[in-house]
Structure 1
Amino acid sequence: MKRSILTATLLLWAMLPSAALASVSREISAADTVKTAAILTGSPEEEEPKVSLTVGGYTSWLHMAIFEKPSEPWINSSMLHNRLNFKAYAGSKVTFALELRNRFVTGDMVALDPSYVSNLSADAGWADLSWNISKGSSYVMNAMIDRAYIDFTAGQLQVRAGRQRINWSQALVWNPNDLFNTYSFFDFDYVERPGSDALRFIYSTGPSSAVEAAVKVDGSNRITAAALGRFNIFNTDLQFLAGVTDDEYFTAGTGLSGAIGSVSVRGEATLFAPLKGAEGEKYNFLATIGVDKTFSDKVTALAQVMYSSNPVDISSFNELYGGGLTARQLAFSEFSAAGQITCTPFPLLSLSLSGIWFPDLDGFYAGPSVDFSLAENVDFTFLWQHFKSTLANEETKINLGFIRIRYSF
């Protein structure tokens, strides 16, 4: 059941900072008010915490073309994407955050895919904070709140409540430790990643050590709750976690990040064991290890492999491209391997080539990209995604080409 009261409250909250859009960052000092009152009343001046508001975000245009062969008909779609990030600070201990993404999509995908419009507005969270404001046969306009939280810090304790990103990952491609916010590697245009409706506690015990506990509720009222301990030993960050995922799986895992010489090493492993009542579900153990290295100030490379004892059985390209819904569903092949190399020949240009191998699908992914800075805060991106796989005993080849221009403010 979706929470209309919470939704209405957050909508009102979203409207309050709109007047601040004319300025990227404004600060209001409560101390000025106190000083004025002190002069008028003759009372002693008292120090008050500073209240400040920051506003940022970006606006982008993204065009996508889908085709099997360049000589065959293309499926074309375009999206105007605007993101607004609001943060209000009450001194150094309390932070309020509200972040929205607004998308206007037009083209063949809306017209040809009957589920596209409903999928765009789908919200897996406890509160339904995604709305299709307007739609037609060839367009849809969507607004979504993916961050809405209050954060309180007192000494070594930090508490955050609301829609937030809980990032427990260590590796760079696949993250079986990331229990709360799984995302698709192929969704390059959503760098902020999804959020969870959750309550999180962090108690810092040292510069690189902490104890955490978090609980989230999804749209089906399923609970994911876990605790994590993180510490550093021999210049290596280690973490251990345990909890329950989606009300159905006992979950335990570990992760690390360190270095051997100039090579960074990152890994994660998680066991998902079905609890009593999770009929038909199976154990799944996922483990991944990767290395990355910066060869100079211009070239970086990474490689990562993953094992899954119970990979997800998929039958369509949409399932492959969309990725798993949870950390338990990351793998489509018993073994997978990924690699990426990035080159920056000069400061304004970045070239990248990434690839993923799915042996069980007799398939692979290849993705070259170009990023170029056109002007201050204006970037151009070209990305090509090529997929080859065998799904439902049928060979599939699909190409997706993207052009994006983004202005950040």
Structure 2
Amino acid sequence: MILLLSSSKSLKAQSNLALYGYVKELSMFYKPVQAMSVSATDSLDYLFLNQIHNRINFRWYASSKLTVALEARNRIFFGQMVREFPDYEDYIEQDNGYLDLGAVLISQKTWFLHSMLDRAWIDYTSGKWQVRLGRQRVNWGTNLVWNPNDVFNTFSYFDFDYEERPGTDGIRIQYYTGVTSSAELVYKIGHNNNETAVAGMYRFLKAGYDIQFLGGWVGKDFVLGGGWSGDIKGGGFRGEATWFKPRDKNDEENFESLVASVSGDYTFRNSLYVHFATLFNSHGTTGDAGGRSFFAPDISAKMLSLGRYQLFAQSSYPFTPLFSGDIAVMLNPSDGSSFIGPSLTYSIGNNWEVMLNGQLFFGRKGTEYGDYGQAVFGRLKWAF
């Protein structure tokens, strides 16, 4: 629900101010593959973490051409994770943007409060031109799980509680060449050449498909890619691929890579939804692919997985208008490790929702999904 604040000087049907957001309580029970050491003598067989999350989204429609947006997330973390692992606060406080727009406002031994602006932009639109300056979401991906084209602000599928996804500090210029076509250029500000990005994209409609091509310089790499989005007999059909080539030939730690993903989804007449996807990473290994956290701060479109191949399947069904279920499965066929994500959602009222979610990882030690264990989440959400 959007709360509109009417101007006292105007009786227009639509206000020039908008304020909306939500409050969530997220609880996590986590059981690792093996007990976690917290001291020389103590270890934990399981872990609890709680999070109270408030989001505020603000819009000011200054004129028909000018819009200003500020969006903030305020989160209180408490539980064993905070008490036993002090580095967790430092992890949450990381801001990968050019400006550090986040801060821990209160820090105690068992809890802390973190606040962050993840959207702060000014948008000017005139005729066929649109210019947006500031921290914003640049979404170039077409798929729903893996997005090789999303070179500016890659997200992790496992970070399910961050619906808005990360933002980019920079400027985005779009020119609408036609009703179904556009060209855009994005410049991401960085502290050095390895953090800076400049890339362009052209989109157009052909034979019922939205097709896009992109190219530019992103961090340490030159990038060239493309994607599509359309349907086959009522089912969604999407794909995207990006080629990454190191800018510095003498950088021995960097590597050339081709990352591609294809997906299809369909909703049957009885409302059963199915979704299938696959990912290819030319630099990924065909052996055991363990060794990196899913929430690593350096996640990029170049390394969406450590394995060369990934398979994904999902199904969801609304048992009633208010109660729905979902299950997702991810598999690395090379090392045999897998992920299963069941979820149940119930709508208590117009603005209230409760969710039960599982993230269950299986596999041998050292495989892509074998070292994480199992986690169960419960979430209560109120939107306003």
| TM-score (norm: length of structure 1) | 0.85
The alignment-based identity, stated in percent, is 33
Q: Which residue number in structure 2 is paired with residue 204 of structure 1?
A: 176
Q: How does 1:230-379 map to 2 (within 5 A)?
A: 230-246=203-219, 248-276=220-248, 279-280=251-252, 281-296=254-269, 298-311=271-284, 315-316=290-291, 319-322=293-296, 325-379=299-353
Amino acid paired to 1:406: K
**Contact 1:199/1:214 (8 A) holds in 2:** yes
| Cα distance change of structure 1 residues 366 and 220 upon mapping to structure 2, 3 Å threshold | farther
Q: Tell me, what secondary structure is at the counterpart of 1:187? A: coil
The structure 1 segments of at least 4 consecutive aligned residues displaced by more than 6 Å after TM superposition are none
Q: Deviations over 1:335-361 (max 9, x none)?
A: 101111010121101100001112344
State the distance in 2 between where 1:397 and 1:164 align. 32
Q: Normalized against structure 2, the TM-score is what? A: 0.90
1:180 aligns to 2:152 (yes or no): yes
Structure 2 distance, partners of 1:190, 1:252, is 28
Once the two structures are superposed, the pairs formed by residues 15-94 of structure 1 within 5 Å of their partners are: 24-28=3-7, 52-68=16-32, 73-94=45-66
Amino acid aligned to 1:134: I
Q: Comparing both structures, which one devotes a greater share of its residues to helix?
A: 1
Give the direction of change, closer, same or farther, for the CA distance of 1:363–1:81 in structure 2 (3 Å limit): same
**What pairs up with 1:102-181 in 2 under 5 angstroms?**
102-181=74-153
Query: What is the match of residue 383 of structure 1?
Result: 357
Cα RMSD (Å): 2.4
Q: What SS does the corresponding residue of 1:111 show, helix, strand or coil?
A: helix
Which residue of structure 1 lines up, in the alignment, with residue 39 of structure 2?
none
Structure 1 residue 276: Cα displacement: 2.3
- Which one of the candidate residues 352, 375, 379 is aligned to 1:400? 375
Give the direction of change, closer, same or farther, for the CA distance of 1:142–1:92 in structure 2 (3 Å limit). same
C-alpha separation in 1, matches of 2:155 and 2:231: 26
1:300 partner amino acid: Y
Following the alignment from structure 2 to structure 1, what is the Cα–Cα distance between the partners of residues 180 and 148? 21
Amino acid at match of 1:302: H
SS of residue in 1 equivalent to 2:156: coil
In 1, are the aligned partners of 2:67 and 2:123 still within 8 Å (CA)? yes
Runs of 5+ unmatched residues, structure 1: 1-22, 33-47
Structure 1 residue 114: deviation in Å?
A: 3.5
Q: Supply the distance in 2 between the matched residues of 1:371 and 1:30 (Cα, whole angstroms).
A: 43
Counterpart code for 2:362: K
1-structure distance, mates of 2:65, 2:148? 32
SS in 2 for 1:320: coil
1:393 to 1:202, Cα distance in 2 relative to 1, 3 A? closer
Residue pair 2:289, 2:367 contacting (<8 A) in 1 also: no
Cα deviation 1:133-174 (Å, max 9, x = unaligned): 111221111000000000000001100000000001111110
1:228 partnered with 2:201? yes
Matched residues in 1 for 2:248 and 2:31: separation? Answer: 46
